[in-house]
Structure 1
Amino acid sequence: MSSSTERTIPRMPTNRRTFLQRMAVAGVALGPGGVFLASCATSEGADEDEGEAEEEPQGEVSEDNPFGVPDGEPLEIFIFDGGFGDEYATEIHQPIFSEKWPDVQINHNAAVDIGAELQARFVAGDPPDFINNSGDGAMDTGQLASDGQLYDLTELFDAPSWDDPDTPVRDILIPGTIEIGTRDGKPQVLNYAFTVFGLWYNKTLLDENGWPVPTTWQEMMDVCADIKAFGIAPWVYQGVTAPSYMNWPLLVMAAKLAGPEILLAVDNLEEGAWGHEAIRESAAAIRSLAENDYFLPGVEGMEFRDAQGLWARGEAVFCPSGSWLENEEADAIAENPTFEMTMMPEPLLSENSVMPLETVRATAGEPYIIPADAANPRAAMEYMRAMLSVEGARGFTEAVTSLTSVAEANEGVEFEAPGLSSAQAALTAAGDNVINWLYSTWYPTMESPGIDQATATLLRADITVDEWVQQCEAAAAEIRNDDSITKQTREA
């Protein structure tokens, strides 16, 4: 695909010196080639060539090759080997890409701890071309964006979609998908999976025991009392690994009670946002689960998979999570042949709530990035375009039991998985009453360890709601007062 009419696109300039300085401040020492050494004192980074930026390899730009993918240049990818595994990449997305680009060799890698695998390569200026930056060890995308380490994806979203050259990529995505990956006005993250959040339960178990699906918090407490008397735990959560999962029903119930504006205040770091009366009332409701011993005994010290596995095997009834849960616990669910996994929206704290019961939190997630220093970003964008094809998106859904941010791929699809089917039904029932928040994406350290620590203590009923609010406010203030952190804002 060579041509004398190739256009040359310079590589996006990066701020690698800033990135090196941040690593030094964090106490990370670098050896030859940018390899991480044991934590010890270090000087302010290394020499850097700040001359003319290296040019990207570039092929002929055409209707069939909108990015100018260079023929024969390898494409290195890293996939997070977590709840979704990596077979969706090797069995679905890579074959779609390779059918069109047989001469582009894909060097596939899978990793459980993405940050541990790749941070040194970012610092060395030699990152892979495409990264599924997910999991507990994910790199801070906000920090990477601030340090100029991420590629601007505007060209991807403006390009013709894989299936219809007359429709740009941005127009095939569920609204809000691009925005959630935008930093400082530039889209830099592709959030591919579309997650519906809620409370999950075994429908068969409730039906057999005549337990109603609670629609109010009082009904929840009544059902929990019956479940506890039956001899199993009413609730489980993700233990010591992720107490943040309990922040999700807390904030959703608060937003239903008082309206989505309270989430806007939280995201925008407004002073006193965490002390809103609706958030306090919701926190009190969550704390009451601990007060009444409605959590699975010992859950506060469990790893998240252990806690979820016990839930799937029938030792607890309600579990907060996103729609990835069905795939993540497929093996445990298979051990319980009567398990019919179902999602319910969080109950109302009051019958006078501003938003309806059907309101759900849903958002594009599972981030994919192209580093600014990628050797072959043109092919990486083309790989993303292939992922966003209807074939690629539906294949992903069938393989990992998760919706995607490609709107057409979710329409008219019959899902065999009961959990995903119920999530799709809940999303349909919600209509326009879909909410989300971004503070945990924009400011990961505010979420963990900040708010996570406060919530973990609240879930043991070791602190009062007032103390929880104070700790959450302190976590928000730490971000708000840190001039080194780029602040993001959103409007209603």
Structure 2
Amino acid sequence: MSLSRRELLRSAVLIPAAGALAACATPAGTAPSASAPAAGVKSAANPLGIAEDKPFELVIFDGGLGDKYFTDIHQPVFAKNHAKVQIKHTATKEIAKTLQPRFAAGNPPEIVHNSGANAMDLGALAQDGQMFDLTPLLDAPSWDDPKVKVRDTISAAALEVGSFDGKFSVLPYTQGVYGIWYSRKVFEENGWQADPKTWDEFVALCETIKKSGKMAPFTYAGKHPQYMYEPMLTHAAKIGGIEVLKNIDNLADGAWTQEAVIASATGWAEVGAKYLMQGTAGLDHVQTQTAQNKYKVAMLPCGVWLENEQKSSTPEGFDYAVFPLPDMTGSDAMPYGTVHAKPGENFFISAKSANPLGGAEFLRAMLAKEAASKFVQMVNVPSVVKGATDGLQLTPGLTSATKMLSAAGDNTTFYRFREWYLPMHDELAAATGQLMNGKLTVAQWSERMNKKAADLKSDSSVKKYSRA
């Protein structure tokens, strides 16, 4: 028989050589429940009642953040209360490829830092009951103050983004903020406008840089086109309002032919046709970012982790900075300064792991203010922990991003389909890459995405999520 995406997740993709899982998928909307782990003796230092003689495992995405934050910050903070607990940790750039066989075999690690281009499908994991309910963590006393619950120490946005059907299952640890990154040194030396307020000014900036002959105006991670669909969707929300992205997230009919979506895609396709660095399509994120460090290209879209990811190749005095997307029309629904700001770098606990409570206690330690503040200092990325940046001396890029986020206020956007419907992300990344390289028209791109959304909407094996 033919297999749906969810069935593939449970069978062909996940089945180890030794055997197979059930032939049919769990019906959409239900999930096999894992027996709740029994807590041990609870105390002020151990409010979740974890076993001090029981080890647990953590698998970290080896990307822009590396794993030094675990060995040098989080593990020592955790050890203050749980010195005897043994932790095994590994790092990989291929989260899904590495862990899918283990989930199928029933021996997943306790903690997964689910990030990167090969992240696991959170929507499918939630549907299958593979993620531990973190509500006990939220209701536990915080690491720093027993009178304050964990839920009150993190941002409301983190609580929203980490919830699936009202159940908090994923801890997004960083406060993501996205924009157009550049070298302040380069722009000041050349007299280039670093904060174009309108689309016409942005296009004029691209033209000026192109005519200078010094470097290409723009690039993005060609092999990972989600770096490009991010500003495209943010611009769509800016033009038409946040409802534009809610319609996309909710698989609304015709969501990809909304006027704001078409306008944004048209504008960015123009940039792709005229101002991209040669060879962009064949380069990954590190290669394009390194090209910027080598003064081969002026601007690229990225998240706030960029500065830390490039620290080994960034020349002295480069002075990273970021600006928000310009107004694209004369009547954008959201003002200049609107940014895509979404908590990210997701951590979840495997419900079927041997020691999920141990993993949850480690997340509680990660949310200690000491752990969060030192994390921010090490990786130059904001945390969802309230007050984590208080009193810190920030790097140029993080200072710029923090100011941009502060100026945005409530004018922020984000989308959730990437966690809910990973195939939508895959299709959009592929289609956007083709759009930017002239292999699809805007109409073809839009039609392709509408079809993908309709296919997901009609697939009864796919759990549907809703954003109000």
Q: TM-score scaled by structure 1?
A: 0.89
Note the C-alpha offset of 1:459: 0.3
Residue from 130, 133, 157 that aligns with 1:176: 157
Is the partner of 1:410 in helix, strand or coil? coil
Give me the identity figure in percent. 39
Give the Cα separation in 1 of the matches to 2:295 and 2:421: 36
Give the Cα separation in 2 of the matches to 1:184 and 1:54: 19
Give the Cα separation in 1 of the matches to 2:248 and 2:7: 30
Note if 1:484 corresponds to 2:465.
no
Residue from 22, 26, 29 that aligns with 2:12: 26
Distance 1:346 1:55, change over 3 A: closer
Give the Cα separation in 2 of the matches to 1:389 and 1:208: 42
The answer as to whether partners of 1:191 and 1:366 remain within 8 angstroms in 2 is yes
Aligned equivalent of 2:322: 343
Distance 1:45 1:98, change over 3 A: farther
Note the C-alpha offset of 1:406: 0.4
Aligned-partner residue type, residue 76 of structure 1: E
Is the partner of 1:256 in helix, strand or coil? helix
* Greater Cα shift, 58-67 or 344-353: 58-67
The answer as to whether partners of 2:14 and 2:103 remain within 8 angstroms in 1 is no
Note if 1:107 corresponds to 2:88.
yes
Note if 1:475 corresponds to 2:457.
no
Aligned equivalent of 1:453: 430
More contact order relative to length (CA 8 Å, sep ≥ 6)? 2
Give the Cα separation in 1 of the matches to 2:89 and 2:345: 18
Distance 1:458 1:58, change over 3 A: same
Note the C-alpha offset of 1:468: 1.4
Counterparts of residues 19-418 of structure 1 (less than 5 Å): 22-23=8-9, 25-26=11-12, 29-32=15-18, 44=22, 56=37, 58-213=39-194, 214-231=196-213, 232-240=215-223, 242-292=224-274, 294-333=275-314, 336-415=315-394, 417-418=395-396
Note the C-alpha offset of 1:25: 4.6
Is the partner of 1:201 in helix, strand or coil? strand
Aligned-partner residue type, residue 268 of structure 2: I
Give the Cα separation in 2 of the matches to 1:23 and 1:441: 15
Distance 1:57 1:316, change over 3 A: same
Give the Cα separation in 1 of the matches to 2:33 and 2:92: 33
The answer as to whether partners of 2:13 and 2:100 remain within 8 angstroms in 1 is no
Gaps of 5+ in 2: 25-31
Note the C-alpha offset of 1:490: 1.0
The answer as to whether partners of 1:243 and 1:455 remain within 8 angstroms in 2 is yes
Aligned-partner residue type, residue 106 of structure 1: I
The answer as to whether partners of 1:21 and 1:44 remain within 8 angstroms in 2 is no
Residues paired across the two proteins, number: 456
Give the Cα separation in 2 of the matches to 1:248 and 1:220: 17
Give the Cα separation in 1 of the matches to 2:439 and 2:7: 39
Note the C-alpha offset of 1:428: 0.6
Give the Cα separation in 2 of the matches to 1:108 and 1:29: 24
Give the Cα separation in 1 of the matches to 2:93 and 2:325: 31
The answer as to whether partners of 2:256 and 2:446 remain within 8 angstroms in 1 is yes
Aligned-partner residue type, residue 420 of structure 1: L
Give the Cα separation in 1 of the matches to 2:319 and 2:438: 32
Give the Cα separation in 1 of the matches to 2:462 and 2:291: 40
Is the partner of 2:63 in helix, strand or coil? coil
Is the partner of 1:356 in helix, strand or coil? coil
The answer as to whether partners of 1:19 and 1:147 remain within 8 angstroms in 2 is no
Give the Cα separation in 1 of the matches to 2:247 and 2:385: 29
Distance 1:305 1:157, change over 3 A: same
Give the Cα separation in 1 of the matches to 2:35 and 2:121: 25
The answer as to whether partners of 1:234 and 1:296 remain within 8 angstroms in 2 is yes
Note the C-alpha offset of 1:262: 0.8
The answer as to whether partners of 1:59 and 1:71 remain within 8 angstroms in 2 is no
Note the C-alpha offset of 1:29: 4.5
Note the C-alpha offset of 1:21: 5.5
Note the C-alpha offset of 1:54: 6.3
Note the C-alpha offset of 1:412: 4.0
Distance 1:90 1:19, change over 3 A: farther
Alpha carbon RMSD of aligned pairs, Å?
2.1
The answer as to whether partners of 1:57 and 1:376 remain within 8 angstroms in 2 is no
Note the C-alpha offset of 1:277: 1.0
Give the Cα separation in 2 of the matches to 1:254 and 1:445: 21
Aligned equivalent of 2:27: none
Give the Cα separation in 1 of the matches to 2:360 and 2:187: 46
Tell which structure's C-alpha radius of gyration is larger.
1
Aligned-partner residue type, residue 250 of structure 1: M
Distance 1:253 1:24, change over 3 A: closer
Gaps of 5+ in 1: 1-17, 35-41
Is the partner of 1:331 in helix, strand or coil? coil
Aligned equivalent of 1:3: none
Note the C-alpha offset of 1:378: 1.6
Is the partner of 2:91 in helix, strand or coil? strand
Is the partner of 1:404 in helix, strand or coil? coil
Give the Cα separation in 2 of the matches to 1:444 and 1:295: 27
Aligned-partner residue type, residue 276 of structure 1: Q
Is the partner of 1:458 in helix, strand or coil? helix
Distance 1:26 1:130, change over 3 A: same
Give the Cα separation in 1 of the matches to 2:303 and 2:296: 20
Aligned-partner residue type, residue 58 of structure 2: I
Give the Cα separation in 2 of the matches to 1:52 and 1:139: 20
Give the Cα separation in 2 of the matches to 1:52 and 1:253: 40
